[in-house]
Structure 1
Amino acid sequence: MKNALIPGLSRRQFLQVTAGGVVVSSLGAGRGLAQGYEDTFTWISPRGTLEVLDDYGFWIGKKMGYFDGLDVEMQPGPSDGTATVKFVDVGQADMGFPSPGVFSFAIENGMDLKSVFHMGALDTFSLAFRAGEGPEDIKGVEGMTILLGSAAWQPIVDPMLAAQGVDISTINYVEAGWPTWGTALAAGQGDAALSWEGLRAEWISTGLEFEYWLGVQNSPLPANTFVVRASDLEDPEKVAFLEQYLRGWAKGLEFAQHNPAAAVEAVFDQFPTLASNLGPELGLMSIIQQMNVFRGDMSQREGWGWHDMSSWQTFFDLSAEIGQNSEAIQATEVCTNELVGPANDFDHAAVKAEAEATEVSDELAAVDVEALKASMFDQAI
């Protein structure tokens, strides 16, 4: 398939060019199956990079063979916060990982996308403040300057604050650039900065010590999700492929619950620079924060990726209320749980046994995981 935006470039070449030359990380390209898809099935990041722990479900799944036989690849994409939906919409990628705000932007702008696997069961987003400067009440952010890595992130923050009764018309947003917006906060260039679970640990590794108002503790809203073109769900071959692909993710997430150190090691094996930057303890701290978001309260969910439609409707109603969308989006029209059952149809006991039997490096094995879990919210205000 040729790129619709730059004639003569294949989809993969287009993604590489727009990602600024970042090396593509792929699995089985040209060897496996992408039923119903003309090209390798491509997942695109919302961050402009893959060198993070956020996608650990895929990397441990790849290592354990959960995606074997599938022709799939991971792409970093551009750092533009809306690229993850734009590229899926025009066929330059097949699955994106937008925040709810970026997803609602896509729907508002006529992109016929559908959420098929809700990764972020809890709100991963937070606001970082310099130590001692966070407000006692989140309404204290009124009148403050909040730093963002991308202007496209404002639709993340506005609903999160509006849900807490904050007058968002008083907020001043400044695009401080990726990946420097945290450094800008430390340098005094704003009052707060958007952050998220997992990134908190990464910022510590670079010497950025902040305190946080945590959405995972306080927000009723959902977080990032996997979206595809709605038309793909009308093609039985594509649906069968998606079920198998999402099963690989679900198994990877399940594996990590039983052996987070092995999941960290799988990501570190893929990205040695990330390993050297974070190290074992911060790597495990990052993944534990994200595991909490991705799992949520599984007693209230019907498996990995399950959408809580009431949570999504709360977000869409709020988004319309603050003018982010012209009218309230109906959650059941743009989110579906039809693939969640098939994605979770695997031998959970076998995955647990695989996880518990997997050995890790001495350095990772030496980290006290339970102590990290106990300290997960130590930076909260």
Structure 2
Amino acid sequence: MNMKRKGIEDMGIELNRRRLLQVGAAGLVTVTGLPHPARAEPYDGAFTWISPRGTLEVLDDYAYWVGRKMGYFDGLDVEMQPGPSDGTATVKFVDVGQADMGFPSPGVFSFAILNGMDLTSVFHMGARDTFSIAFRQGEGSDDLTTLEGKTVLLGSAAWQSIVDPMLAAQGVDVSRVTYVEAGWPTWGTALAAGQGDAALSWEGLRAEWIATGLEFEYWLGVQNSPLPANTFVVRSSDIEDPDRADFLGRYLRGWAMGLEFAQANPAAAVQAVFEQFPTLASNLGPELGVTSILQQLNVNRGDMETREGWGWHDMESWQTFFDISAEIGQAGQIEAENVLTNRFIGPANDFDHAQVRADAEAAEVSGELAQIDVEAIRANLFAQAI
């Protein structure tokens, strides 16, 4: 299945703005002719964040689970939803009012903008590029142009919008790369079985794949890519409403406090997620759990010396992504400043940082997690890199 030279519409993910997407009990997307739902102020019911992965049982959202455990969201009616595994659902559901905040990759976000979804990014979680290219051991290269004429495996067809700009930024002629949708969550297993030459991966997932016996070597975007990673988006109308904007500032503060806590005590952050998802704890284990969260903290923190706080958008990095996407024909031209805002970074970071760090240092870590040498793992974080 070669998806090259096809637009997003050809991949079957075009959204007609006159239709409302709905999810049935089986997780299938259906459509009706209903208009966008009206929302009460500040929100009618719980404020809902929707995952781009089709599951919440991962370490990726650690800042939320820390914030919930520590009371950083107290007074706010909030919830998390896994959503379907369709790579574009996280923006579609926000657009039509079935969720209030999504977490798309830059490629999916640009797809949303160019399909008429009036969304704005309000908190850039992935300061560095979290995405990577996985190879079977002994077959990798730090020169991604070697992927020309080869096959890259994806969990969802929508992920091509992630990989094409990343490869193009490294000088790859993306028209010569073939993509195969190998399915969620089996595309890594497909690579190990020899069904493709490489596969998309990301920080945090590297550790999870090790836990399932998948040993690869990686070209790491966090070390080599100039592009941004996933971000929090909302309907643009919500940031213009004073009550909803105030709510967003307080909600994002909870996430920022969770990030600050995890930076100070990664093992305690892992414990908060493991308490929420015991099966994940059993499958991943303490050492790989800490490895996963350290990989993600490296992405989420970025170079804090040049950032204005957790969630701050680097407009230059984002414009580079949008420009490359336009050059390769993936998207039309988008101006970063029109679809990203840093107006919530001040409110989100307006908390007692010293107190949050003290909370983290005082947090008790129990069992095997307490025995983990966090600094030893941190020093070996890129052992799988090419």
What is the match of residue 375 of structure 2? 370
Q: Supply the distance in 1 between the matched residues of 2:42 and 2:26 (Cα, whole angstroms).
A: 26
Q: How far is 1:211 from its partner? A: 0.1
Q: TM-score, normalising length from structure 1?
A: 0.92
Deviating more after overlay: 54-63 vs 353-362: 353-362
Partner SS for 1:177? coil
What is the match of residue 57 of structure 1? 63
Q: CA contact under 8 A between 1:199 and 1:286: conserved in structure 2?
A: yes
Q: How far is 1:35 from its partner? A: 4.9
Q: Supply the distance in 2 between the matched residues of 1:291 and 1:379 (Cα, whole angstroms).
A: 17
What is the match of residue 202 of structure 2? 196
Offset from partner CA, 1:17-60 (integer Å, 9 cap, x none): 5289xxxxxxxxxxxxx951112110000000000000000000
What is the match of residue 347 of structure 2? 342
For the aligned residue pairs, the C-alpha RMSD in angstroms reads 1.4
Q: CA contact under 8 A between 1:60 and 1:266: conserved in structure 2?
A: yes
Q: CA contact under 8 A between 2:21 and 2:93: conserved in structure 1?
A: no
Partner SS for 1:298? coil
1:215 and 2:221 matched? yes
Equivalent pairs counted in the alignment come to: 358
Q: CA contact under 8 A between 1:232 and 1:239: conserved in structure 2?
A: yes
Q: How far is 1:285 from its partner? A: 0.2
**Aligned AA (2:94):** V
Q: CA contact under 8 A between 2:108 and 2:162: conserved in structure 1?
A: yes
Partner SS for 2:183? coil
Partner SS for 2:234? strand
> Residue 324 of structure 1 is aligned with which of 317, 330, 333?
330
Q: CA contact under 8 A between 1:176 and 1:184: conserved in structure 2?
A: yes
Partner SS for 1:224? coil
Q: CA contact under 8 A between 1:16 and 1:77: conserved in structure 2?
A: no
> Residue 271 of structure 2 is aligned with which of 247, 265, 276?
265
1:125 and 2:125 matched? no
Q: TM-score, normalising length from structure 2?
A: 0.91
Q: How far is 1:135 from its partner? A: 2.1
**Aligned AA (1:354):** D
Q: Which consecutive segments of 4 or more residues in structure 1 shift more than 6 A?
A: none
Q: Supply the distance in 2 between the matched residues of 1:136 and 1:278 (Cα, whole angstroms).
A: 28
* Structure 2 residue ranges without an equivalent (≥5): 1-18, 30-39
The 5-angstrom pairing of residues 1-381 of structure 1 reads 4-5=20-21, 14=23, 17-18=26-27, 35-326=41-332, 328-381=333-386
**Aligned AA (1:371):** A
Q: Supply the distance in 1 between the matched residues of 2:342 and 2:311 (Cα, whole angstroms).
A: 8
Distance 1:343 1:229, change over 3 A: same
**Aligned AA (2:248):** L
Offset from partner CA, 1:313-338 (integer Å, 9 cap, x none): 00001111111112x20000000000
* Structure 1 residue ranges without an equivalent (≥5): 7-13, 21-33
Q: How far is 1:362 from its partner? A: 3.0
**Aligned AA (1:149):** G
> Once the two structures are aligned, what percentage of the paired residues are identical?
77
What is the match of residue 9 of structure 1? none
**Aligned AA (2:27):** T
Partner SS for 2:285? helix
**Aligned AA (2:85):** S
**Aligned AA (2:356):** V
Q: CA contact under 8 A between 1:19 and 1:77: conserved in structure 2?
A: no
Partner SS for 1:18? coil
Q: How far is 1:214 from its partner? A: 0.3
